[in-house]
Amino acid sequence: MPFEPAYLYTILPELVVLITACCVLVLDLFLREDQKSVNHGLTVIGLLIALGCVGLIGDGHVSLAFSDSFIRDPMSDLLKGAVLLVTLLCFLYSTNYLRDRAMWVGEYHVLMLLALLGIMIMISANDFLTMYLGLETLALCLYALVAFNRDSKMGSEAAMKYFVLGALGSGMLLYGISMLYGATGGLGFAAIADVVSAEGIENKVLVFGLVFVIIGIAFKFGAVPFHMWLPDVYQGAPTPVVLFLSSAPKVAAFAMAVRILIDGLAGLHADWGDILLILSVLSMGIGNLVAIAQSNIKRMLAYSTISHVGFIFLGLLAGTQQGYAAAMFYAVVYALMAAGAFGVLVMISHKGFEAEDLDDLKGLGDRDPWLAAMMALVMFSMAGVPPMVGFMAKLLVLQAVIDIGLVWLAVVAVAFSIIGAFYYLRVVKMIYFDRSEIAVAVVVTGSARFAVTLNGLAVLFLGMFPAALLSLCEAAFA
């Protein structure tokens, strides 16, 4: 199929991100040390334009490009909007942090933008090759970002672990893809779906390949038992990178799961539903239980991520449209919550001091009441307490699993969420009930304060008025 100019319209947001990355890359060469803020400004403008483009081209219809290897549909529009917003928040949160630590350089911005590009490609991938391309773009940028602080031993170790395990995960995925290709003779998700619905699970190779593909997905999500990299990476990487890592790539992993499992292999739901069920219960259990034992808040939030992944899987495994919409809702709001939590951590770190331990949050309610309130909102939201959006997300996935008759699974899920409530409450306790041992005031830029306000109030607002976002999620699977 020949190239058509209309394709450029379909990939407009990706183009904007790519052009921004290239501009920053080139411009950075000509900037003096004291002019590096131009990179930041350019990046923020680029992201805003890309966000505008997503809104502009989102018309509720599906359009395909590049021999059907690229798809733009309501789901991709919403997810791209979410990752662009979250990435924007990441940049706004971390200006002071980066300035204080010699990370205020062009490369950081370029790597972040390229990682974002990878995420957007994954979201819109319509065949396995495009998916893999996006995945590797994302992963390579993340490996470099995790090790961005070159003087940090922890950072290098984390990057090495991430790289080795990430390569293993990608290898598993590729192995699975090759089997699926062998069994179906196609790489496009639509083509695979046709073959699967015709042949069903009779084909052993197909199911065998499916298992490896799911391992790849579970690795990217960080679901138990493929979660080992996650706490180490979260702990070792610079906090702004973790801020990004914990939010946007989870949305990408969700898109990957939807494209592969639902668009491509929906006919094998009977097989992958059970696999996801096991992954889900293990993730909720291990994630919540181990998080209690953590004293490092980044590690704690890593295990909390793992438990939330379990909840996202609950929606996916239901195999109903309502379940998929619930999982999508959960993934998007989780990205928002994670951005808020790590954003606050980034902001209360200052020159020569990393907010890493739970104790570092002590007395935040006195040091900066507004930041403290936003952090508390996010923590209650993660615990699933109304009126925060975390409750709505949990309600939706629980409803999905009860709908298919798995009441016991819903009971297991809520039981683990009680355990989870404990360590989120502990953070609130540190913020409000304990007195600070550090007297340093928190210095926050105006834009970061604006961003965290937006983020925190969004968590509250979406919880009270979830209908709009929910209907967008439902439209994606209608």
**Given the rule CB under 8 A, which residues bind other proteins?**
380, 385-387, 391-392, 395-396, 398-399, 402-403, 407, 410-411, 414-415, 417-418, 421-422, 425-426, 428-429, 432-433, 466-467, 470-471, 474
CB-count burial class (<10 Å; 0-12, 13-18, 19+) for 4: exposed
Q: Quote the CA–CA distance of 86 and 342 in Å, as a whole number.
A: 12
3-state SS, residue 228: coil
Minimum gap (Å) between residue 459 Cβ and other proteins: 13
* Residue pair 243/305 in contact by the 8 Å Cβ criterion: no
Q: Quote the CA–CA distance of 411 and 274 in Å, as a whole number.
A: 17
Which of 134, 285 has the CB closer to other proteins? 285
Neighbours of 27 (CB within 10 A): 14
Which of 3, 422 has the CB closer to other proteins? 422
Minimum gap (Å) between residue 300 Cβ and other proteins: 16
Minimum gap (Å) between residue 254 Cβ and other proteins: 20
* Nearest alpha-carbon partner for 211 in 165, 252, 260, 143: 260
Minimum gap (Å) between residue 461 Cβ and other proteins: 14
* Nearest alpha-carbon partner for 44 in 447, 343, 453, 344: 447
Which of 138, 400 has the CB closer to other proteins? 400
Label residue 441 left, alpha or beta by phi (over 0 means left) and psi (-120 to 50 means alpha).
beta
Minimum gap (Å) between residue 386 Cβ and other proteins: 4
Q: Quote the CA–CA distance of 261 and 204 in Å, as a whole number.
A: 17
The backbone torsions φ and ψ at residue 294, rounded to the nearest 5 degrees and listed phi first, read -85, 140
Which of 162, 432 has the CB closer to other proteins? 432
CA distances to 120, 228, 381 from 385, rounded to whole Å, are: 31, 29, 6
Which of 163, 424 has the CB closer to other proteins? 424
* Residue pair 140/92 in contact by the 8 Å Cβ criterion: no
Which of 273, 387 has the CB closer to other proteins? 387
Minimum gap (Å) between residue 413 Cβ and other proteins: 9
Minimum gap (Å) between residue 105 Cβ and other proteins: 39
Angle, CA 471 vertex, CA 469 and CA 475 arms, to 5°: 120
Which of 141, 376 has the CB closer to other proteins? 376
Which of 242, 401 has the CB closer to other proteins? 401
Q: Does an H or E element contain 156, and which? A: helix 153-184
Q: Which residues contact 123 (CB under 8 A, 6 or more apart)?
A: 75, 76, 79, 80, 83, 134, 251, 252, 255
Which of 228, 411 has the CB closer to other proteins? 411
Minimum gap (Å) between residue 313 Cβ and other proteins: 18
Minimum gap (Å) between residue 467 Cβ and other proteins: 5
Which of 177, 377 has the CB closer to other proteins? 377
Minimum gap (Å) between residue 164 Cβ and other proteins: 39
Which of 213, 413 has the CB closer to other proteins? 413
Which of 267, 466 has the CB closer to other proteins? 466
HSE of 450 in the Cβ direction (CA atoms, 13 Å)?
6
Structure tokens at 170: 């990608």
Burial 152-163 (b: 16+ CB within 10 A, else e): beebebbbebbb
Minimum gap (Å) between residue 329 Cβ and other proteins: 11
Q: Helices in 239-320 by DSSP H: which ranges?
A: 239-257, 269-292, 297-318
* Residue pair 213/173 in contact by the 8 Å Cβ criterion: yes
Q: Quote the CA–CA distance of 402 and 314 in Å, as a whole number.
A: 10
Minimum gap (Å) between residue 414 Cβ and other proteins: 4
